[in-house]
Structures are given as structure tokens and as C-alpha cells.
């Protein structure tokens, strides 16, 4: 597959039968996958050209419909039968490939495929769908992202079992801003705060460009990181500082071991307390408290879940964003 290249401005030209682009001074590199001999339109992105069918694009996108209705520059009556329209797009060739995977050669959108889709493809669908007004190409991928960056605590707990590379949280924040999907922001921004290195640099997309947070969202992360740490410390003190459960039959022993474990956490003997992760599971910590009775262990597990549910409800405030309907099922 051809290498992705820098973007160019959008314009409409004509191409002769030999593949020579009029006005460009040379040939572009044909894409190996999306070059149909009977294609009706040539799309050029960077120096990669695709020969595809205009019908599916026109069918699903009013933007493409308007674009392809423009007159062809360079075509006249004498050459009309051998000239194909060529549209120059500013998109990444990689993004276009992901779009064409769904739309070519059928006029009907194909299913989105496997439940597990890589971030590059989801992001490309959303960017292409937003730009070219293909609503289904925005909404279904956004719903898939909501399974990893939800606005509901129970869904969030379930999402911890599914891995989503943390660096891609930067891209999710940008996609949420692009589409005004604000419900994605609290969890995505919190995940950005937990990136140990490279937050300001961002990550490199498959097309070679860099995905970075805006200055405003970087500032949100810098300000929220300390609040997340404070929330985690407060959570630990609240959970372990209250002592044994009321139903405990060895309250003095259990209380003593809870306090000893809390002291080791706050002193740093047990690492990981002062991190921006107030919603990380506490099961391993609870199990690590030596000689704790089963009654207190169960009470701590229940309290941990309830306290973190409260934290989740306050997450937009902690992260500095407003989200209508946050926490609703």
C-alpha cells in the first residue's frame, strides 16, 4: 500500500486516458486497492490517486454531491469523451482508504465489521463523516468510543476490562471537540492526565501527522491532574480511615490493620497513592491488607464501589468541563 503523504488543497481538474493530470506537470501514484478500471471519478490526495465510483459518494454525502456537480476544469467538447473528472482533496490518503473500505464499490454502506476496530480507523471514519456530512459514519464510531469513554459509572467499570491504548485518549478528546460529543470528554481527559510521558507531544498517526491536544485542553489536563491526585488521596483516607465494619467481630484487629496499610500508602512505602487515578480498581489493595476479616473485606469492597461512583458523578467538575446529563444511564 502506498505511503501516506502531506495534504494539498481541494480543486477539480481533468485527467486524460494515460493518467496524466492536466496542470500538475506529472503523474501521481495510483493506489493499489482503490483503482477500479471502470471507476467514474479520480480522487487525488497528496500524490496518491484513487479511481473510484462517484455514485456511492454522491448517495451518502451532500458535500460530494455538490463537489461533483462542479464543471470540470480543462474539459472541452472535443475531449469530453476521453476526460475523467479529478477531484483534489486535502484529506490524508489513509483516511480516504478507510472511507472507501466502507463505500466501494457498493452504493450501500457496508457493516462496520468486527466489534474491535483500531483507533486509526474509527478516527478516520469520524473525521470523514463529519467533513462530508455522512451522519452514520460519525454516530456509530462515536458509540463505539463511548464503550471505552462512557458517561455512566457501571459502563466505565465494564470498560476497564477492554484495553484502549492510553495515548489515543488525545485523539478521542479532539474527536469529541470536533463533533461536540462532550460526554466523551471527562473520561478521555482523565485518561490524558494519566499519560506518563508524551502528553504535550501527542502521538503520530498512521499517515505520519501528529495528533496533539489543543492548548486549552492541555491546560485543562495540567489543572485537573492535581485535583485527581487529591481525590485519590481523599478516597483512600475515607475508605480506610473509618475503621472496621459495624458487623465486624474483631474490630480492634481489623481497624489496626487498615490504619497500618493506610499509613504505608500515605508514606509511600506502598507506591501508587499519589497518582491521578481515583477510579482505578481497589480490589488488589483490599486483598493486600493482612488478616482482615471477610466482613470488613466485603464492606471495603462495597464502600470502594460507592465512593468511586460518587467520584465519577463529579468527574466533569474535576476535569473542568460541563456535560449535560452526565452519569445518567
184-199, pLDDT tens digit by residue?
Answer: 999 999 999 999 999 9
Question: String of b and e for 22-59 (b: at least 16 CB within 10 Å)?
Answer: beeeeebeebeebeeeebebbbbbbbbbbbbbbbbbbb
**pLDDT bucket at 329, cuts 50 / 70 / 90:** low
CA distances 186 to 96, 130, 154, Å, are 30, 22, 15
**pLDDT bucket at 110, cuts 50 / 70 / 90:** low
For 234-263, what is the mean pLDDT? Answer: 95
- pLDDT value for 104: 87
14-47, pLDDT tens digit by residue?
Answer: 444 444 444 344 578 999 889 998 899 999 999 8
Backbone angles phi, psi at 203, to 5 degrees: -135, 160
For 103-117, what is the mean pLDDT? Answer: 63
**End-to-end CA gap in the chain:** 43
- pLDDT value for 11: 39
- pLDDT value for 8: 35
**pLDDT bucket at 111, cuts 50 / 70 / 90:** low
Q: In whole angstroms, give the CA distance from residue 289 to residue 255.
A: 11
128-186, pLDDT tens digit by residue?
Answer: 999 999 999 999 999 999 999 999 999 999 999 887 899 999 999 999 999 999 999 99
User: Which of 60-74, 95-109, 245-259 reaches the highest mean pLDDT?
Assistant: 245-259
**pLDDT bucket at 207, cuts 50 / 70 / 90:** confident
- pLDDT value for 291: 87
Could you tell me which residue, 99 or 75, shows the higher pLDDT?
99
**Residue 232 confidence (pLDDT) above 70:** yes
Cα atoms in the Cβ-side hemisphere of radius 13 Å centred on 53? 14
pTM of the model: 0.84
- pLDDT value for 264: 95
Mean pLDDT for the chain?
86
CB 2 within 8 A of CB 93: yes
Q: In whole angstroms, give the CA distance from residue 170 to residue 213.
A: 6
**Residue 114 confidence (pLDDT) above 80:** no
Count CB atoms within 10 A of the CB of residue 228. Answer: 23
CB 90 within 8 A of CB 10: yes
For 195-224, what is the mean pLDDT? Answer: 95
Residue 64 cell numbers, joined? 460530494
Question: Helix, strand, or coil here: 148?
Answer: coil
Angle between helices 251-267 and 294-313 (to 10 degrees): 50
Amino acid at each position: 500500500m502506498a505511503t501516506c503523504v502531506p495534504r494539498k488543497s481541494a480543486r477539480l481538474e481533468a485527467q486524460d486516458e494515460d493518467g496524466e493530470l492536466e496542470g500538475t506537470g506529472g503523474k501521481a501514484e495510483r493506489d493499489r486497492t482503490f483503482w477500479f478500471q471502470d471507476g467514474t471519478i479520480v480522487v487525488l490526495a497528496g500524490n496518491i490517486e484513487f479511481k473510484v465510483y462517484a455514485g456511492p459518494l454522491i448517495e451518502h454525502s451532500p458535500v460530494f454531491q455538490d463537489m461533483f456537480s462542479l464543471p470540470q476544469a480543462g474539459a472541452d467538447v472535443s475531449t469530453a469523451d476521453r476526460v475523467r473528472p479529478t477531484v483534489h482533496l486535502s484529506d490524508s490518503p489513509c483516511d480516504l482508504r478507510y472511507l472507501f473500505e466502507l463505500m466501494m464499490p457498493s452504493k450501500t454502506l457496508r457493516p462496520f465489521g468486527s466489534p474491535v476496530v483500531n483507533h486509526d480507523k474509527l478516527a478516520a471514519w469520524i473525521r470523514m463523516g463529519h467533513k462530508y456530512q455522512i451522519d452514520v459514519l460519525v454516530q456509530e464510531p462515536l458509540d463505539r468510543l463511548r464503550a471505552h469513554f462512557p458517561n455512566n459509572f457501571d459502563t466505565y467499570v465494564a470498560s476497564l476490562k477492554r484495553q484502549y491504548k492510553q495515548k489515543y485518549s488525545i485523539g478521542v478528546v479532539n474527536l469529541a471537540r470536533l463533533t461536540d460529543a462532550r460526554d466523551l470528554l471527562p473520561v478521555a481527559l482523565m485518561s490524558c492526565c494519566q499519560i506518563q510521558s508524551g502528553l504535550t507531544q501527542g502521538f503520530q498517526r498512521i499517515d505520519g501527522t501528529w495528533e496533539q491536544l489543543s492548548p486549552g485542553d492541555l491546560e485543562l489536563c495540567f489543572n485537573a491532574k492535581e485535583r485527581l491526585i487529591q481525590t485519590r488521596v481523599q478516597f483512600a483516607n475515607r475508605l480506610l480511615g473509618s475503621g472496621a465494619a459495624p458487623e465486624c467481630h474483631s474490630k480492634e484487629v481489623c481497624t489496626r490493620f487498615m490504619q497500618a496499610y493506610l499509613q504505608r500508602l500515605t508514606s509511600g512505602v506502598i507506591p501508587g497513592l499519589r497518582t491521578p487515578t481515583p477510579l482505578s480498581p481497589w480490589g488488589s489493595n483490599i486483598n493486600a491488607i493482612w488478616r482482615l476479616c471477610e466482613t470488613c473485606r466485603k464492606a471495603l469492597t462495597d464502600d470502594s464501589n460507592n465512593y468511586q461512583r460518587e467520584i465519577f458523578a463529579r468527574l466533569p467538575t474535576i476535569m473542568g468541563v460541563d456535560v449535560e446529563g452526565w452519569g445518567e444511564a
